[in-house]
Amino acid sequence: MNYKIKAVLFDLDNTLVDFMRMKKLAVEIAVEHMMNADLPGQKEELISEIFSIYRRTHIESQNALEELIINKIGYLDYKILSSGIIGYQRVRDLATYPYPKVIPTLKELIRMGLKIGTVSDAPAEQCYNRLASKIISY
């Protein structure tokens, strides 16, 4: 049989974009912002606790910062939460970028007439945001 490749699928995170680098930087800045808003604790301990929450739930958990705050002070302080979210989002947007050679490789595959797509276990909204801001825009 003679098969012709018509499409190539890629995993998105840690294949096309350096997700874990972004995640580590975003969490670090989120913790700094929350500490500046009076969250008690040591920076490295707080970062470690957030990643522990991610391991127990999901790396894209939308509740990790809330859970951390409740664990530390016993209730959800929205000043601390909003500070962390703002810090996280700023770094997330700046620190998400494709690995070297990803864009030229994708362009070459398209030039060859192949369809390209991604598969991911990330929530659809976050996945699309990473694609739209860092891959599709090229």
pLDDT digits (tens, 9 = 90+) for 48-77: 999 999 999 988 888 999 999 999 999 999
- Report the pLDDT value the prediction gives residue 137, as an integer from 0 to 100: 62
C-alpha to C-alpha distances, 104 to 33, 43, 45, 90, 96, nearest whole angstrom: 37, 39, 40, 27, 17
The residue segments making up the domain with residue 76 are 19-95
Do 90 and 107 lie in one domain? The reply is: no
25 and 64: one domain?
yes
Same domain, 33 and 50: yes
Q: What is the model's pLDDT at position 138? A: 58
Whether residues 26 and 82 fall in one domain: yes
Q: Which residues of the chain have pLDDT under 50?
A: none
In a domain, 128, yes or no: yes
Number of domains present in the structure of the chain: 2
CATH number of the domain within which 51 lies: 1.10.150.520
> In this structure, are 70 and 112 located in the same domain?
no
